[in-house]
């Protein structure tokens, strides 16, 4: 009975601890550059400064300044709220605050050629939490549960760019980014029961992925007051490594080989010893989704003081399959377990997002920028009905079929929606407001971003889905210089 209670309590609290604002449940992670942030990301048909290397490198060909440099920093405050977890009124909040340089770029002019180099800190999130729950209503036999969590996620892009002005109205460009994506997690959970027995689980999960992200772009100005742009990028994973190590102890177990469970694995192999059973598990994933993104943009310049821009951003879905079967041995007994082949932590759903912005110069040296944008989820919708059906089948069939012959067994496990790591669905909307001071040699900009969203999540496989709310505030500070 205690094992059942522990499993119930742990899936809830470990699920809570595993949530991270850096997990890419939405494709828009931030904005990079002086004007792009103020325009809500609607920059594909402009891109005429060093940040064009990220949005549309062809736009750099229309930059008017030589020796252009740009540095941008971002302060971000994120709050994610999971509402009515197991009992009405019970809420779990996760917050993040951080200040990081998120873009540094330079641009050099050689007649019709423009060359640039940029560093983009796509995201950088860090968490350090200590959670304690005493006498939870959902599990009366549990006295207390303590969680200690440290998490860090980051992605860095570094690389050169070029743009070429084919005619006075047409340009092409390209960027080649080297990508480094990392995840570092360490967690410890202690759970004590009413009979004073306890269980403890501790693990680390570290991943590093390297790759390339080429970006190709084209920009065309059919009229003096109109600009059109398009860019395409794709992630190519070139390498990676991952290490997972877990230890689980149970005070009620007798001393011996079954007293402690060990799980350890890498991208090359994964095995465990749990309650005396040795299991060969599926290899760990050291990759990230290799998605493709296409941006279309249009900009309109009705006067010398005003411009309007509009972007459509399509991000492809991604899915990969491989064998995830398990082989277990306990003495002379062998069990072969068939699992679903979809690697669900890499699964992404395609999205289409929109951004629109405007810029108006109140005076020759001061402008105001504003924008709106969408940030659709790249996960499948999560419904209460689906979670109810999933729990019913889990309780009725234990989510598996099995057949035995002598000491050998064959087990088939149905894929469960409750154990899907892609367990958050939020449709976000955002607003931007920026102010820019400009002179012949330099400029400084200050931009505010507000993003909110709502939807559903299912962070506990043993419970129904719950409502979810997202809220984020960002402040971008950007400084540039020109020759």
pLDDT tens per residue across span 216-265? 999 999 999 999 999 999 999 999 999 999 999 988 888 776 789 999 99
Q: What are the distances in angstroms from CA 254 to CA 3, 259, 260, 272, 313?
A: 15, 6, 10, 19, 58
Which pLDDT band, with edges at 50, 70 and 90, does 89 fall under?
low
pLDDT value for 71 = 78
Q: Please report which confidence band the pLDDT of residue 394 belongs to, taking 50, 70 and 90 as the band edges.
A: confident
Burial classification of residue 357, based on how many CB atoms lie within 10 Å of its CB (0-12 exposed, 13-18 middle, 19 or more buried): buried
282: alpha, beta or left? (left if phi > 0; alpha if psi -120 to 50): beta
Q: Please report the pLDDT score of residue 87 as a whole number.
A: 59
What is the per-residue pLDDT for 208?
A: 97
Which residue's entry shows tokens 């459509």? 312
Q: What is the pLDDT of residue 186?
A: 93
The overall average pLDDT reported for the chain is 88
Q: Give the tens place of pLDDT for each residue, 336-375.
A: 999 999 999 999 999 999 999 999 999 999 999 999 999 9
Region 30-58: mean pLDDT is 94
The candidate with the shortest Cα–Cα distance to 459, out of 91, 29, 95, is 91
For residue 14, pLDDT over 70 is answered with no
More confident residue, 47 or 15: 47
pLDDT > 70 in the chain, percent:
92
CATH code assigned to 2-242+296-316+358-400+423-481: 2.40.160.60
DSSP state of 417: G
Q: Is 53 helix (H, G, I), strand (E, B) or coil?
A: helix
Listed by start position, the domains of the chain span 2-242+296-316+358-400+423-481
Residue 229's pLDDT is 98
Q: Is 89 left (phi over 0), alpha (psi -120 to 50) or beta?
A: left
Say what the pLDDT of residue 58 is. 97
Q: Kindly state the helix (H) or strand (E) to which residue 122 belongs, with its residue range.
A: strand 113-134
Per the DSSP assignment, residues forming a β-bridge with 456 are 425, 467
Residue with tokens 């009620």: 252
Give the mean model confidence (pLDDT) for residues 84-91: 65
CB-based contacts of 341, cutoff 8 Å, min separation 6: 321, 322, 323, 324
Lowest mean pLDDT among 70-74, 208-212, 303-307, 314-318: 70-74
To which residue do tokens 């402040």 refer? 475
């Amino acid at each position: 009975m205690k094992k059942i209670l522990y499993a119930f309590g742990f899936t809830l609290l470990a699920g809570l601890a595993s949530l991270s604002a850096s997990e890419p449940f939405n494709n828009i992670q931030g904005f990079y550059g002086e004007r792009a942030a103020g325009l809500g990301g609607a920059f594909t048909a402009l891109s005429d400064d060093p940040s064009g290397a990220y949005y549309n490198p062809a736009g750099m060909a229309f930059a008017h300044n030589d020796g252009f440099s740009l540095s941008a920093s971002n302060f971000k405050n994120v709050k994610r709220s999971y509402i009515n977890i197991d009992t009405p009124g019970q809420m779990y909040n996760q917050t993040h605050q951080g200040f990081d340089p998120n873009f540094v770029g330079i641009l050099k002019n050689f007649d019709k050629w423009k060359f640039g180099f940029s560093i983009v800190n796509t995201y950088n999130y860090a968490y350090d939490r200590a959670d304690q729950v005493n006498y939870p209503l959902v599990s009366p036999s549990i006295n207390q549960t303590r969680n200690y969590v440290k998490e860090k996620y980051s992605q860095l892009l570094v690389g050169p760019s070029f743009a070429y002005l084919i005619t006075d109205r047409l340009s092409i460009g390209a960027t080649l980014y080297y990508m480094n994506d990392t995840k570092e997690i360490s967690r410890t959970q202690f759970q004590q029961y009413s009979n004073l027995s306890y269980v403890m689980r501790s693990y680390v999960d570290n991943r590093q992925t390297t790759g390339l992200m080429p970006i190709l772009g084209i920009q065309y100005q059919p009229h003096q007051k109109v600009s059109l742009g398009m860019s395409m990028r794709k992630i190519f994973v070139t390498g990676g490594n991952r290490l997972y190590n877990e230890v689980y102890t149970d005070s009620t177990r007798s001393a011996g080989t079954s007293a402690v469970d060990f799980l350890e694995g890498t991208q090359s192999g994964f095995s465990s010893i749990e309650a005396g059973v040795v299991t060969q598990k599926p290899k760990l994933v050291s990759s990230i989704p290799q998605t493709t993104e296409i941006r279309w943009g249009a900009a309109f310049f009705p006067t010398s003081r005003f411009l309007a821009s509009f972007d459509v951003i399509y991000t492809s879905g991604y899915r990969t399959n491989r064998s995830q079967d398990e082989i277990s041995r306990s003495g002379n007994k062998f069990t072969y377990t068939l699992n679903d082949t979809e690697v669900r932590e890499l699964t992404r759903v395609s999205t289409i997002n929109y951004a629109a912005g405007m810029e108006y110069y109140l005076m020759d040296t001061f402008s105001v920028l504003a924008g709106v944008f969408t940030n659709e989820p790249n996960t499948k919708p999560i419904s209460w009905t689906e979670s109810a059906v999933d729990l019913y089948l889990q309780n009725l069939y234990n989510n598996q079929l099995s057949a035995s012959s002598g000491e050998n067994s064959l087990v088939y496990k149905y894929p469960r929606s409750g154990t899907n790591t892609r367990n958050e669905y939020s449709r976000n909307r955002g607003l931007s407001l920026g102010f820019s001071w400009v002179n012949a040699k330099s400029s400084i900009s200050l931009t505010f971003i507000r993003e909110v969203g709502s939807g559903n999540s299912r962070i506990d496989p043993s419970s129904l889905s719950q409502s979810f709310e997202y809220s984020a505030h960002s402040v971008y500070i950007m400084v540039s210089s020109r020759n």
